[in-house]
Structure 1
């Protein structure tokens, strides 16, 4: 079904999908929330909602990897902090995918609409956070909130995804008092962990259109690399 669908897509539709996902990857590298663009683009291309979620997740893996390592090379990642959080993000994402697979695909369209609106409003209301870096280290209180955040947003990323990057950035700012650029750098690796877990689980359930994921993923890798470079330098 997936391969047959791909042969039916027009050049115009593919250009639209590629352009939308390039922009999504660029934006996601800078401030998170790229899924607000890429997931609706895959849905608009006509993919089944479950397949759209899995395909978007694998394509996003390319872009998240590109931006994550760009931030790491720039010294914007606190490894002593995120090493405690990554396992919980991974576990949450696996459970999130398992949960969304149980939902009939016809219910995902209205669910996607309302979640996207919620994420958009949240993002717009919190665009001035992270002006300064006041991180003073890890303690028992902030690490507990951090673990809860990593698991919850990992679950959300596996279950749906759009806006996860923004939520993680804001959480790092609120919980650990990081500035925006460091919060963004750390968020990329937490997001990468949940992304990998989601991809593995979606592949297990056979919900990925590989041709879309790989071709669009390469386009998103370019967009994310450029976006991360702009974020670090500007």
Structure 2
């Protein structure tokens, strides 16, 4: 019986040892579990990397959106500036056209004035030549009139309706009227008369009338009718 008891104890010891060995084997991770754990770590690392990449892309997208808004704003400003410059260029073109037209008109007007000045110079020269001849004739006529008046005064002191002295004064007045008429006509023709009675034609007519009256007085004095 002692042997049987020893055998039982030995059997139980072997069974307990086998059970302990099985528990030790169960506590150690298997190869598949290690692979799963390694895969999970890789996936976690990949997920973290993707999260970081997503955050970086979000920041990049935000920067790009901000830059795009800035570029849109600058484009709007440039469009407005281009429109303003187009309007200003159109205004300057219109102004340049107006100035060109005015310049052309002034050039034409200047040419007309130069032509008119040349005509007036020629007319003035002709008038001066004519007046020189007329003044010489008037001077000669006045000299003759004075001599005739003096001769008639010596011949007959009572000749004339106003007497000798009055006749001489009337003759001098006639000479003055002739000179005044010719001078006024010259000034009226040249456009430099000190006054006007209604245009160049009217001024010339008045000058002619004054000159004719002066000549009539001179002739009347010479003829002894005054």
TM-score (norm 2): 0.25
TM-score (norm 1): 0.24
| Structure with greater helix percent | 2
- Could you say which structure has the greater relative contact order, defined with CA pairs below 8 angstroms and 6 or more residues apart? 1
